[in-house]
Structure 1
């Protein structure tokens, strides 16, 4: 997959941040949506003339109007079984940020929640074969702002090399675990060769290596999505990508 062109414009992209798509009865971190809720949320986008796309497609579009980014963090195994069929039904694409250091493992970084299995190497290859953009979420899901220099290189450059070995092309995108980013982490991501990176609310660091995103969860009904979509340009800085 070609790296997205981020050289042309400044804009405030609306990028939705999802995680697991499954039963959300036990969900203390509010990172899970049911397939039914995801279906209704994507239908809401369609009714408003919006289409969910991967970050690569969003950034490559000459005019991103009418497009919103769909990102799924952590690489849960339920992406293939529950999220992908819904995305297909709505003709949406998405970016899946995975952890090549935890292939076939689980979300051990969440001490309170239920253990959720992560995709295996074959699962990630299957998602990529289905047209899903694969990005890195680091190797093992650590807060990069607290990592020493060696760990920072492993989580950024090391995870990119691991995914290049797994998939062939090196990923263009990175996603900061926990959404936390500082200048040192952003510089490490850029120096590792990533074209773009996603955060949550990076404030003054907002730019091609710190895109803001909007958390979307089970409680986000049509009314809440409308407010999040309308307020986003007022609450986030434009992403200045001109060089």
Structure 2
């Protein structure tokens, strides 16, 4: 199936209600468990040694699978706001790491087709650059300032993935401050709005990185499979979604999310 990517940009209606300051919570007894999907690039590029590319046709089928099960993809901002009100049932967080330029041309029209929102984690220190941290390639263009503003204007939550995509567990004090603090202020100026979310590059964090992000003024941070001791609103677990994830694989991942500590109930 070929997805029509010529549709006009879709404006998302955010979930209403104030976003509370995140607090450390005790786990609720066996209630609804939300989960968060992690995407990267959306394109038909066949070369993908890191398994980070999903075709627009596959994304379309994956979002159709969500909606057929009464689920709706939303941004992390909206998911956590709903969770604070204990209204997260039926919501799935959709996140896109690195801020690839193909988000505008291929991912956004598909999200709009299914009435889904998302969070886009971008790199303000690499505007109009490329993913040269991926040694094996392929090289993919990253969004520039105008592209990020267009995504924000369409209702997509813009959040930080650091300044230049470095492993923060190996960063010195000055580099850490630039990656965590400066990336937030640069993005806030770029989109003229508060930046609430952070995503750890490579999903890597330790106690020092966790504490630095929290103290920088963010309201949440996304990881992949954080250490249990750090799990919380500043180490939100996510499920990697790939091109191979058919309906059957998605259902399995959904069922295993809680068991493996990848659901928000485990936070």
Q: Identify which of 55, 59, 74 aligns with 1:38.
A: 59
> Which residue does 1:84 correspond to in 2?
108
**1:59-138 paired onto structure 2 within 5 Å:** 59-61=80-82, 62=85, 63-138=87-162
In structure 2, the gaps of 5 or more residues are 1-13
Residue aligning to 2:244: 219
- Does 1:234 pair with 2:259? yes
Q: Secondary structure at the match of 2:34?
A: coil
> Cα gap change, 1:241/1:168 in structure 2, threshold over 3 Å: closer, same or farther?
farther
Partner of 2:58, secondary structure, is helix
The whole-number CA distance in structure 1 between the counterparts of 2:162 and 2:118 is 18
Match of 1:210 among 222, 230, 235: 235
Partner secondary structure for residue 248 of structure 2: helix
For the residue of structure 1 that corresponds to 2:89, the secondary structure is coil
Matches within 5 A, 1:188-203: 188-203=212-227
1:52 counterpart SS class: strand
* TM superposition score normalised by structure 2: 0.86
Structure 1 segments unaligned to the other structure (5+ residues):
none
What CA distance in whole angstroms lies between the structure 2 residues aligned with 1:217 and 1:141? 21
How far did 1:67 drift? Answer: 0.3
Structure 1-normalised TM-score?
0.95
Q: Is the 8 Å Cα contact of residues 34 and 265 (structure 2) preserved in structure 1?
A: no
Deviation at 1:164, TM superposition (A): 1.1
Distance 1:219 1:237, change over 3 A: closer
RMSD of equivalent CA atoms: 1.9
SS, match of residue 68 in structure 1 = strand
Distance 1:199 1:160, change over 3 A: same
3-state SS of the aligned residue for 2:108? helix
Pairwise CA distance, 1:114: 1.0
Deviation per CA, 1:35-90: give whole Å up to 9, x if none: 00000000000111100000011011121010000000000000000000000000
Superposition deviation, residue 13 in structure 1: 3.2
Q: Any conservation in 1 of the 2:258–2:266 contact (CA below 8 Å)?
A: no
1:21 offset after TM fit, Å? Answer: 0.1
